[in-house]
Each structure stands twice: as C-alpha cells, then as structure tokens.
Structure 1
C-alpha cells in the first residue's frame, strides 16, 4: 500500500502482521523489555522493515532508536518515517539529497473513538468536510483519515522544525477523486530552499480495512 503513495526516490517496506523474522539490537530490545507482547512485536517488525529499506539505500544494519517525540534516529543523509497499527507496519526512507522530509501514517478504517477526540482533531470546517465526503463515500471513515493525514503532516514537519504542531495548526482538504490531500499550515513554517513552507501535499489510500497516508517533499519542490 505505502509504496503506491510515494515517489521513486523513497524506498518503502511493509508487512500485514508480524512474520517473526526481524531481530533487535540490544539497545532496541532494552527499550521494550517491559512492554506487552503486541508492542514488542510491532516495534520489532517495523524496525526490521526500516532496516530493509535502509539496506536498499546502501546502509548496513544498525539500531534505530527513538529520538525526541519518538522520531527515529536515522543514519546521516537519510530522511524517513515509520508507522504501525493493528495488522499493518511500514517504513519509508530516502536520501536527503533527493527528499527533504517524509511522513507516513497508518490507521484502522474505523471512526475516531469519541466526539471529544473529533473536536480536538478536526476544526468545524473539517467536520463539515467529513460530512460531505461521508455522503459521497460512506464506507470510508473520513474523520480517521484526516487524523492520519495530520499525523503524517507532523512526522514531515517535526524533523524540519523540532517544534510541536497541534491538530488545529494545520487545515486539511481531501480530494476524493485523486486520492490526494493538502494540508495548509496555520502557523509559520520553516524555509525550504529559501522559500517559506506553507503546507504539505500528500496522498491517501483506503484498502484492506486500513487507512494509509503519506507525504514526501522533494528537494526541487519547495512549495510542498
């Protein structure tokens, strides 16, 4: 799924479950020694996928430890993102010379868990957008898709800024026909190639009970 959403400079790997073939480095294993089995499995699988993607970029296997806000600490000269939800794990990596930043997220195609969460994640305009999209395609839980897209936005934003980006600080518009979305930043963004970044364009897919969203900002595409 994830590979169809990202351009060729980005290398991806995914798994629909935990095949049990990935191994952790001692530093990684220490982080989850008290975690529940499901957490250990997803943590292990997604790192195996990330190492597979990094191998295709020419990097030898090495520990992938979480940094600030959980962002993966990747080899120098690499940008990337990882995600996991029940039944799905994925990683996306690219050379920094080709891609400025990457953000991916996967979620179950289920409604957000409560009205309170919907109000926290979606603006009034986005909730109206969800109602319109639901009338056109009710099988997709658009509130969860917007949540996923904003998670991808944050994962693409944070490596560029080192700053938080709250849900209300990006406004999402989804294009149903093209399978794309646009996130307009409502706070000042960083400069990329001496151009202020005002938003991110991404793609989405719904299949196999999953929602997957992805962003990749090319070096030659400073407008996002």
Structure 2
C-alpha cells in the first residue's frame, strides 16, 4: 500500500498484522522493556518492516534505535521513516533520498477538537471546499506527520502543525509550504515538500521522498 505512493528509488515494507516471527535486537528490547504489550507489538513489527525494507537495498540487519526526539537512527547512508497505527505498520528507506517521511492513519474523522490544533484557518477553508467521501481532516493530520518526519532529519528541530501549510490535490498529491525558515539543503533553503496520498482499505497514508538535485 505505502509502496504505491513512493518512488522506485525508495524501498518499503508493510504489515497488516503482527507476525509471530518478528524479533528484536537486544538493544531494541532494552528500549521497550517496560512498555505495554500494544507498544511492544507496534515497535517490534515496525522494526521487522524496516529490516525487510533495508534488505531490499542490500543493507544487512542492524538495530534501529530511537534517537533525538524519538526519530529512528538508520544505518549510515540510509534515509527512512517508520509509521504504525491500528492494523498497519510500515517502513520506507532509501540510499538516494535526502529525506523520507511516511504516515498511516485510520481513515475516519479526527476526534473532536483536534482539527483546531492541526489545521490553519486557511487549510480548514480549503478542506471544506474539497468535499467528497475523503476524511480530509485525518488526511491533513497524516500529511503533517509526514512533513515533520521529512523535516526533522534535515533541520534537527521541532516543526509545529501551524508551521506548514498543506494543500491537497484530489488526484492524489499534496504540497507543504513551510511557514518558517527551512534548513539549507544542497546549497538552497528548503521551502517545502511535495508528497502523495492514498486512501484504501480503511487507511489514509501519506508519503514524502525528497530527491537529490
């Protein structure tokens, strides 16, 4: 599913259930030693997906530990992202991308009051005009999660929901315009991202992969 909205130079793997053969490295086990069962399953299957995706790049298995602000620390030369929600886990990795961001959410309305936190007034007006059967509020939340995951490895700092303006094309793409100064990437200031989205099988997924050049 996530692979449908990623370019060919990004490898991905996903799971719709937690495989019984998924295993962690001892260093990873230590991270979740005191976690509740649900968190353990999410973490374990997400790492299982990540290692499957890395194998498609020819990268050998290795621990994938949470680093600064919880972002996964990838093997040298790899850019990637992990996502999980109820009934779905996925990872996407690349040796070519400058950064990668993915997110998956249940395709249902956001809880009451969350939209006001996530969306700028202009975004709320734009989503209201889109209409249709898509839960655009949830898709906006997912897109902003992907934006943050793509932003953080480049900027190494937080990006709030109100610091990027996301615009959707109903054909399956979106753009994110940064409302704060971005980091310098390949000699130019980063001003935003473009991404793709998909709604299928009760899930809303979004993805960003920033190519070099």
TM-score normalized with structure 1 length: 0.93
Residues of 2 paired with 1:198 and 1:33: CA distance?
A: 40
Q: Distance between the aligned counterparts of 2:68 and 2:24, measured in 1?
A: 20
The aligned residue for residue 159 of structure 1 is 153
Distance (Å, rounded) in 2 between the aligned partners of 1:59 and 1:192: 25
CA distance in 2, matches of 1:35, 1:99: 32
Q: Provide the rounded CA distance (Å) in 1 between the counterparts of 2:3 and 2:86.
A: 19
State the SS of the aligned residue for 1:52.
helix
Q: Give yes or no for contact 1:20–1:45 (8 Å, CA) kept in 2.
A: no
Match 1:114 to one of 95, 112, 115: 112
Unaligned runs of 5+ in 2: none
**Counterpart residue number, 2:168:** 174
1:215 shift after superposition: 0.1
**Any gaps of 5 or more consecutive residues in structure 1?**
none
Instruction: Name the structure 1 match of 2:27.
Output: 27
- What do the CA deviations read for 1:143-177 (whole angstroms, capped 9, x no partner)? 11001000000000000010110000000100002
CA distance in structure 1 between the partners assigned to 2:44 and 2:190 by the alignment? 34
Q: Judge which range, 78-87 or 192-201, deviates more.
A: 192-201
Alignment of 1:190 onto 2:183: yes
Q: How far has the Cα of 1:62 moved from its partner?
A: 1.1
Q: Structure 1 residue 21: deviation in Å?
A: 1.7
Structure 1, residues 35-91: CA drift from partner, whole Å, max 9, x if none?
A: 221211111001011011111212211111000111101111000000000011000
CA RMSD of aligned residues (A): 0.9
Aligned to 2:199: 206
List 4+ stretches of structure 1 deviating above 2 A.
Answer: none
Cα deviations by residue, 1:93-141 (Å, 9 ceiling, x for unpaired): 000xx210000000001111122x211110111111121122xx1x221
Aligned equivalents of 1:190 and 1:34: distance in 2?
A: 36
Deviation at 1:212, TM superposition (A): 0.2
TM-score (norm 2): 0.97
Which position in structure 2 is the counterpart of 1:123? 120
Q: Aligned runs of 1:3-82 on 2, under 5 Å?
A: 3-82=3-82
The separation in 2 between residues aligned to 1:120 and 1:183, in whole angstroms, is 17
CA distance in 1: counterparts of 2:15 and 2:53, whole angstroms: 12
Structure 1 equivalent of residue 142 of structure 2 = 148
Size of the aligned set, in residue pairs, is 213
